[in-house]
């Protein structure tokens, strides 16, 4: 009989753990492909040269939401961290911390989407680990993923490399993921057609590289949103970034939800967006490349870097012709009534 | 204070309604309004419909905004 | 978004800015207008309107951010309740970071208290229904706009027989503090009156300000075009030496306000004295839960009394709100009083006069 929920015994290291790993986790993640040997560590043969290495942990409530779940979020998020560094994703690890009582159906759904996301991205899940904590000591499922990517020769994008005159381009609408999660929170719930934008961005980066677009900086604006990433770039590079409010793409449902909750879409999280900074001469080309890629159909040029007046900052030109400062998300993103 | 959004009523119940703005739906209490019909625009603040929005007045407001100041001034001089 | 996007039209905004410049030429001196309401302050910031106002028109932020004027003593009571076993605190997101005398709700939540953010007080009633073995307390803050929604939650709880729902009420009303500010020395030439407070109370509440104190008042919507037009109407009144109550936002605000909501307020609440952070006590400026609904009053149920937390006497919030002083005149500014550890209301609000000065420096605003 298959268990219908995760029990402490699944993390015991004994037979139950063995069965969970071999009968549930590995078949779903490596569906149709050979799983790596189960040893304490996995050998990887990397082509010589520089690699990029990253790690990230995923905690999201709810774990399953319109447009995705914590599984593809974890795979895509780690791929994006590699891709934003200019690397070609190669392999990743998966560490699960499961809460006792997690429904097996939910876990298998998450595993399936991990398998699908990894397969579609052509990245190998090289090693993993599963622990179970007593009920109440975790929140259904936490995932840690570390990723290794192969650095491309000569490509070292960095937030500090932006120069006055550079242009900022985003590959689509902002705020979709954050609004999706909020719409499901107790006390805030609303109905909307919004879906998470979770996606792996490395093929979009491939397309930009192939087209010969010069990449100064690439960042994925996840938590903290576009506003936070723009300020981080401005501060790292010592420039004034001016964003154009009329150019920033926002899905109308996201805009409406933000209106109701008193939120600024620029501060709301994304999971499949990238901000590209490129010299002015390549901006048009970059925009064309993005718009002909499935993940960049709504790409837009949203701003430019300028000389500072002594202080790195981000401003936003409003459609009314006014201007304001853009700040990092100060803390938690909270709905407001005033 | 007071964030409120104009929302279109799509369903009406005894004490509450469902209102929509660009595909986003939320329920709102209607106990502070005299009469609410499907198709009305209501201002919703913290889950309560606090007022109806009058479409004709909205048009009138936009018309006033579009008026040419110079014309208003000329009128002032005539008066 | 219908009835939002039209009032954010860029071309029409530029036209109104040009109109405002023409109107402002008629002024013989620089004038100071107060946007009384915190939502106006936020909207002016968000839409980047400040750089669009002519040199002769200066805007200052008023006391209309309800969480910012909530005194430390109230927050302390909320924290006492949060620490009471079996109590769930439900609140608007805005309240989480407001400091009490020792700590804030966001820190208490971090320490394991059950503090939940809701969109509406009605959601808090739902929480009470789904947690019958807990006491659910909603933190009732806000002006005349928000108080009816809290009243509606109390009426819902009564109708549905929900016994484990109470409100810790600290509601405030707008005209009384405006009059308190207007009395005596004041350097405000005109009031941009709140949009949605007025939807409830109508035009009447501001009449004394115009008629007795001679301060022009314009009820103004929150969209950028509304604000530009409201300021034009105020400048016109000042230039022509008039002082009346005008209503720019007549698509939502009726002259008599929302009579039904007024009746609900009169049923559930009664006027009380209230303490305003930065302004001190103001008679009849609060709304307390009526004895008729005392079983929904957290003060009564949990036998609380508001501790008298002494304000820092060096705080100049009152003078800053009256337009008499600037943040830099205050000895606490940027030393004892910062956005992380705010003393007065002007620093609590992220776009309050002091917080804005702290972050940007008034004159280095967005020089874009």
Q: What is the pLDDT along chain C (368 residues), one digit of tens a residue?
A: 999 999 999 999 999 999 999 999 999 999 999 999 989 988 998 899 989 999 999 998 888 888 888 888 999 999 999 999 999 999 998 888 888 888 889 999 999 999 999 999 999 999 999 999 999 999 999 999 999 999 999 999 999 999 999 999 999 999 999 998 888 777 889 999 999 999 999 999 999 999 999 999 999 999 999 999 999 999 999 999 999 999 999 999 999 999 999 999 999 999 999 998 878 889 999 999 999 999 999 999 999 998 888 778 888 887 887 778 888 899 999 898 988 788 887 888 776 788 878 876 643 344 43
| CA separation for the pair A57, A190 (Å, rounded) | 28
Residue C248 parent element (H or E): none
Closest-CA residue of chain A to B4: A260
Record the tokens describing residue C363, joined without a space: 């004159």
Q: A140-199: per-residue pLDDT in tens?
A: 999 999 999 999 988 989 999 999 999 999 999 999 999 999 999 887 889 999 999 999
Closest-CA residue of chain B to C229: B65
DSSP C112-163: T--EEE-SSHHHHHHHHHH-TTSEEEEEEEE-TTTHHHHHHHHHHHHHTT--
Which residues of chain A have a CB within 8 Å of the CB of B7? Answer: 260
Chain C nearest CA to A3, separation (Å): 29
How far the first Cα of chain B sits from its last, in Å, is: 39
Cis, bond preceding A62 (omega within 30 deg of 0): yes
Among candidates C1, C38, C196 on the partner chain, residue whose Cβ is nearest the Cβ of B4: C196
Residue A205 parent element (H or E): helix A202-210
Q: Does B46 touch chain A (CB under 8 A)?
A: yes
Which C-chain residues 257-316 have CB contacts (< 8 A) with chain B? 258, 260-261, 264
Contact state of A338 with C66 under an 8 Å Cβ cutoff: yes
Q: A86-142: per-residue pLDDT in tens?
A: 999 999 999 999 999 999 999 999 999 999 999 999 999 999 999 999 999 999 999
| CA separation for the pair B53, C254 (Å, rounded) | 10
Among candidates A253, A259, A338 on the partner chain, residue whose Cβ is nearest the Cβ of B23: A253
pTM score of the predicted model? 0.92
Which B-chain residues 36-75 have CB contacts (< 8 A) with chain C? 41, 43, 45-48, 50-55, 57-58, 60-62, 64-66, 69-70, 73
Q: Does B10 touch chain A (CB under 8 A)?
A: no
Q: Which of A175, A185, A190 to mutate to test the interface with B (most CBs of B within 10 A)?
A: A190
Mapping DSSP to helix (H, G, I), strand (E, B) and coil, where does residue A138 land? coil
pLDDT value at residue B73: 53
Name the pLDDT band for A337 (thresholds 50, 70, 90).
Answer: confident
Contact state of C118 with A332 under an 8 Å Cβ cutoff: no
Q: Does C17 touch chain A (CB under 8 A)?
A: yes
How, if at all, do strands A124-133 and A87-99 pair? parallel
CB within 8 A of A39, min separation 6: which ones?
Answer: none
Contact state of B47 with C229 under an 8 Å Cβ cutoff: no
Number of continuous H segments (helices) and E segments (strands) in chain C: 15, 11
């Amino acid at each position: 009989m298959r268990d219908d929920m995760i029990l402490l015994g699944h993390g015991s290291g004994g037979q139950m753990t063995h069965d969970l790993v071999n009968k549930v986790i590995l078949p779903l993640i490596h569906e149709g492909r050979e799983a790596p040997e189960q040893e304490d560590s996995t050998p990887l043969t990397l082509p010589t040269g520089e690699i990029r290495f990253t790690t990230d942990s995923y905690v999201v409530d709810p774990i399953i939401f319109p447009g995705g779940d914590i599984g593809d979020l974890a795979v895509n998020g780690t791929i994006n961290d590699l891709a934003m560094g200019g690397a070609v994703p190669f392999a990743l690890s998966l560490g699960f911390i499961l809460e006792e009582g997690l429904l097996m159906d939910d876990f298998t759904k998450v595993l399936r989407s991990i398998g699908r996301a990894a397969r579609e991205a052509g990245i190998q899940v090289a090693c993993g680990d599963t622990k179970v904590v007593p009920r109440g000591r975790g929140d259904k499922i936490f995932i840690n993923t570390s990723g290794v990517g192969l650095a491309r020769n000569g490509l070292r994008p960095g937030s500090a490399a932006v120069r006055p005159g550079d242009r900022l381009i985003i590959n689509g609408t902002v705020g979709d993921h954050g609004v999706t999660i909020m719409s499901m929170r107790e006390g805030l719930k609303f109905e909307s057609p919004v879906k998470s934008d979770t996606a792996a961005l490395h093929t979009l980066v491939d397309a930009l590289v192939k087209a010969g677009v010069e990449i100064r900086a690439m960042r994925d604006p996840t938590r903290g949103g576009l506003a936070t990433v723009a300020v981080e770039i401005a501060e790292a590079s010592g420039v004034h970034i001016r964003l154009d409010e009329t150019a920033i793409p926002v899905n109308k449902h996201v805009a409406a939800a933000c209106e109701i909750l008193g939120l600024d879409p620029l501060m709301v999280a994304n999971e499949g967006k990238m901000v590209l900074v490129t010299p002015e001469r390549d901006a048009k080309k970059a925009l064309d490349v993005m718009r002909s890629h499935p993940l960049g159909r709504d790409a837009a040029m949203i701003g430019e870097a300028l000389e500072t007046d002594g202080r790195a900052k981000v401003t936003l030109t409003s459609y009314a012709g006014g201007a304001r400062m853009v700040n990092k998300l100060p803390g938690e993103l909270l709905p407001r009534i005033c | 204070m007071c964030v409120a959004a104009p929302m279109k009523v799509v369903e009406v119940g005894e004490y509450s309604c469902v209102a929509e703005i660009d595909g986003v739906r939320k329920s709102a209490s209607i106990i502070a309004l005299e009469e609410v019909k499907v198709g009305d625009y209501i201002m919703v603040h913290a889950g309560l419909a606090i007022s109806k929005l009058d479409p004709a007045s909205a048009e009138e407001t936009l018309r006033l905004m579009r008026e040419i100041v110079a014309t208003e001034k000329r009128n002032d001089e005539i008066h | 978004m219908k009835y939002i996007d039209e009032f954010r039209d860029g071309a029409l905004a530029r036209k109104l800015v040009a109109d405002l410049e023409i109107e402002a030429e008629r002024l013989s001196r620089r004038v100071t207008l107060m946007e009384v309401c915190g939502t106006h302050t936020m909207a002016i910031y968000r839409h980047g309107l400040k750089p669009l106002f002519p040199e002769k028109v200066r805007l200052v932020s008023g006391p209309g951010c309800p969480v910012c004027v909530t005194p430390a003593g109230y927050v302390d009571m909320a924290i006492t309740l949060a620490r009471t076993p079996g109590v769930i605190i439900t609140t608007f997101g805005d309240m989480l970071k407001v400091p009490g005398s020792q700590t804030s709700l966001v820190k208490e939540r971090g320490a394991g208290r059950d503090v939940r953010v809701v969109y509406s007080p009605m959601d808090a009633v739902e929480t009470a229904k789904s947690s019958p073995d807990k006491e659910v307390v909603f933190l009732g803050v806000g002006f005349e706009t928000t108080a009816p929604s809290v009243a509606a939650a109390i009426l819902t709880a009564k109708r549905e027989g929900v016994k484990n729902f109470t409100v810790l009420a600290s509601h405030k009303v707008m005209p009384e503090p405006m009059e308190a500010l207007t009395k005596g020395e004041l350097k405000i030439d005109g009031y941009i009156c709140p949009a949605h407070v007025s939807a409830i109370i109508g035009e009447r509440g501001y009449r004394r300000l115009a008629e007795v104190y001679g301060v022009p008042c314009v009820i103004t919507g929150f969209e950028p075009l509304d604000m530009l037009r409201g300021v034009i109407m105020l400048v016109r009144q000042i230039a022509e030496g008039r002082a009346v109550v005008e209503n720019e936002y007549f698509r939502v605000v009726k002259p008599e306000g929302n009579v039904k909501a007024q009746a609900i307020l009169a049923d559930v609440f009664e006027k009380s004295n209230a303490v305003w952070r930065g302004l001190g006590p103001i008679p009849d400026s609060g709304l307390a839960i009526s004895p008729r609904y005392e079983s929904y009053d957290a003060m009564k149920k949990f036998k609380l009394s508001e501790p008298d937390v002494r304000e820092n006497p060096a705080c100049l919030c009152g003078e800053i709100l009256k337009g008499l002083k600037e943040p830099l005149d205050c000895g606490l500014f940027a030393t004892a009083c910062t956005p992380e550890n705010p003393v007065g209301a002007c620093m609590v609000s992220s776009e309050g006069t002091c917080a804005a000065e702290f972050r940007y420096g008034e004159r280095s605003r967005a020089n874009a």
